[in-house]
Amino acid sequence: MKKRVFIVIFLLLLVLTGGFLLLDKFYFHFVFKVTPGSCLILEEKYCKKAKVFRKEDGKLIGAVFSVDPKTPIMSPVSEKFSGNISKDDNKTVIIGNNVFENDNETNLRYRISFYGDIKNDLPEKITKGTIFGYTKKKDKTDSWVFLAIEDMSVTEGELNIETNESEFNKLVKEQ
């Protein structure tokens, strides 16, 4: 009798553990709070997987992070959330101030592109660490997230956009 009770309890624990592991693998970001890592837009385990891209002249373009499907993407700052520039499920969002009050003014913005979904119920101003989207897997390619930190300025009525390498280097370490 004791042996039978022990086996039933053991099997029940085994089933519960397996269920929790499945829940953890597929729905982790819905059940537990996910916090941004050093790159501010992804969990730390992904921040370390950045591949930095540069132009032929050495100027920084941005970084691509290799991530799992359903990876949450978070706002790096508390600022205006603008843009859902998308083609199919390829999304690009801009987080930062895109409004210029004066000529010769420079605003910092974060351009984040990924293949996935953007949440529908987002406010115009998003707070740092807020999840705004999730990645998806496309065909046989891995899921990815692209980050560029840019200075956007208007000089004599002309828009200029340049990558801000010093801010970028604070968040992403080249390997």
pTM for the predicted model, two decimal places: 0.72
Q: Among 42-46, 113-117, 131-135, 154-158, where is mean pLDDT lowest?
A: 154-158
C-alpha triplet 30, 32, 34: angle, nearest 5°: 90
Closest CA to 148 of 97, 93, 99: 93
Quick one: 12 exposed, middle or buried, by C-beta within 10 A (0-12, 13-18, 19+)? exposed
Q: Convert the pLDDT of each residue in 71-109 to its tens digit.
A: 999 999 888 776 665 656 677 888 876 655 555 566 788
